[in-house]
């Protein structure tokens, strides 16, 4: 059976769940309240956008479910065949991979990254280690945790490639995070220990100390290429508009993303950046076997070299409403597809991956939705 036929059968007969993050502070969401190493967000509004988009694409049975302690039971009771992961988890360590891990253990196929890839891309320290292994430029960095014997200041002074003099500054950020929350620009070593402690108090996790890069900042959305899943397609490459007097990007939790958040590039700039970002992504695809959407944040260093700052395995996918929306959705015009068509495409990519590399899981899905395996 062709993937297109499987997609059409899934639209007709399949039961789809779009999963968003439940509020861990709400009674009944968790068994015991804990900490969250990643800044929490429900993504429920975006889940509704995705649900409506899938319905417009022809999917007959789509519901939204909360990622809480009842999720496995809800999936079973609603006879869910296929899921869309729109959750960054509720709480605990490495929450970005919790939803994928649950679905893997339950046998439900989904749109989203594998647990390991989600955790790896969300962990800025480990991801930067991978970038260095692949010879992809990234800002110099050290990792600090209060369990370690050295203070943050001592770590920086011992690192022979982390410069802190003149105009050189440092960025302090959670090792796992979203939307530029708890990201600080540090102007003096005297501030460093206090700022690191402050970030740790919010996340109860390690803190990344990174060389501040003085050049322009960019973002790029990345998806697998249909028919050639091992090859990346990059789009929505924008320069971030930091705003007057700002050296780092303002969190979307404070200022929603809109057309004033980006600077559209010339065709020549776009082509040059796309070539560089695509080359970086080919290396990432070659080792991670990626088959889902992610976003890269990049910045130029003082020598004009484009460096990868971090990856976001769970980029915002909200539709554009009244000039505000997600960076991903704003870039879809480059692909010449609508928001609805893009959602349809991501389901198709997941089905293609299943048919090629997860054959038993694919055949089990086909049997559930009444599609012949041959």
> Is residue 335 situated within a structural domain?
no
Tell me, what's the pLDDT at 266? 87
Of 165, 182, 211, the residue at which a domain comes to its end is: 211
Residue 83 lies in a domain: yes
Query: What is the domain extent for residue 150?
Result: 140-211
Question: What's the pLDDT score for residue 243?
Answer: 66
Q: What is the pLDDT of residue 165?
A: 52
Q: How far, in Å, CA of 266 to CA of 298, rounded?
A: 18
Kind and range of the H or E run holding 8: helix 3-13
Indicate if 10 and 62 belong to the same structural domain: yes
pLDDT the model gives residue 189: 82
Q: Which pLDDT score, from 0 to 100, does residue 254 have?
A: 56
Q: What is the pLDDT of residue 325?
A: 86
Same domain? For 85 and 154 the reply is: no
**Cβ proximity of 263 and 240 under 8 Å:** yes
| Residue 167: predicted pLDDT | 57
Q: What is the mean pLDDT of each run of 10 residues along the chain (374 residues)?
A: 92 98 96 92 96 98 98 98 97 96 98 97 97 96 91 84 68 87 87 94 94 92 88 93 67 64 87 95 92 94 94 94 88 95 97 94 94 69
Give the whole-angstrom CA distance, residue 146 versus residue 152: 9
- Asked if residue 106 and residue 35 are part of one domain, the reply reads yes
Beta strands at 15-21 and 61-67: parallel, antiparallel or unpaired: parallel
Backbone angles phi, psi at 77, to 5 degrees: -65, -35
CA distance 26 to 16: 25
pTM of the model: 0.93
Q: How many domains does the chain have?
A: 2
pLDDT at 322: 84
Indicate if 159 and 102 belong to the same structural domain: no
Distance CA 293, CA 327 (A): 12
DSSP 168: -
CATH code assigned at 57: 3.40.50.20
- Count of residues in the chain: 374
Whole-angstrom distance, CA of residue 254 vs CA of residue 245: 16
Tell whether 353 is covered by a domain: no
Last residue of a domain, one of 211, 232, 256: 211
């Amino acid at each position: 059976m062709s993937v297109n036929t499987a997609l059409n059968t899934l639209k007709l007969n399949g039961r789809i769940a779009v999963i968003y993050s439940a509020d861990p502070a709400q009674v009944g969401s968790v068994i015991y309240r804990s900490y969250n190493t990643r800044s929490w967000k429900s993504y429920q509004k975006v889940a509704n956008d995705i649900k409506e988009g899938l319905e417009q694409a022809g999917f007959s049975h789509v519901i939204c479910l909360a990622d809480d302690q009842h999720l496995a039971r809800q999936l079973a009771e609603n006879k869910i065949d296929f899921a869309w992961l729109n959750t960054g988890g509720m709480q605990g360590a490495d929450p970005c991979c919790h939803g994928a891990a649950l679905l893997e253990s339950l046998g439900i196929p989904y749109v989203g990254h594998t647990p390991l890839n989600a955790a790896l891309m969300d962990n800025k320290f480990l991801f930067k280690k991978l970038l260095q292994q692949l010879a992809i430029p990234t800002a110099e960095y050290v990792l600090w945790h209060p369990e370690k014997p050295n203070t943050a200041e001592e770590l920086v002074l011992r690192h022979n490639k982390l410069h802190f003099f003149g105009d050189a500054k440092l960025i302090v950020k959670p090792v796992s995070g979203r939307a530029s929350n708890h990201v600080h620009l540090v102007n003096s070593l005297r501030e460093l220990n206090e700022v690191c402690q402050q970030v740790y108090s919010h996340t109860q996790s390690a803190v990344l100390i990174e060389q501040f890069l003085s050049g322009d900042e960019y973002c790029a959305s990345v998806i697998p290429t249909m028919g050639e899943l091992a090859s990346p397609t990059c789009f929505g490459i924008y320069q971030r508009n930091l705003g007057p007097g700002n050296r780092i990007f303002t969190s979307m939790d404070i200022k929603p993303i809109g057309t004033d958040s980006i600077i559209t590039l010339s065709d020549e700039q776009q082509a040059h950046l796309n070539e560089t970002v695509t080359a970086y992504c080919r290396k990432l695809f070659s080792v991670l076997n990626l088959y889902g959407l992610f976003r890269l944040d990049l910045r130029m260093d003082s020598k004009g070299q484009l460096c990868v700052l971090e990856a976001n395995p769970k980029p915002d996918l909200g539709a554009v409403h009244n000039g505000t929306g997600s960076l991903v959705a704003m870039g879809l015009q480059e692909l010449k597809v609508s928001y609805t068509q893009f959602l349809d495409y991501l389901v198709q990519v997941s089905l293609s991956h299943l048919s090629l590399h997860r054959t038993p899981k694919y055949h089990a899905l086909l049997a559930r939705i009444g599609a012949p395996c041959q």
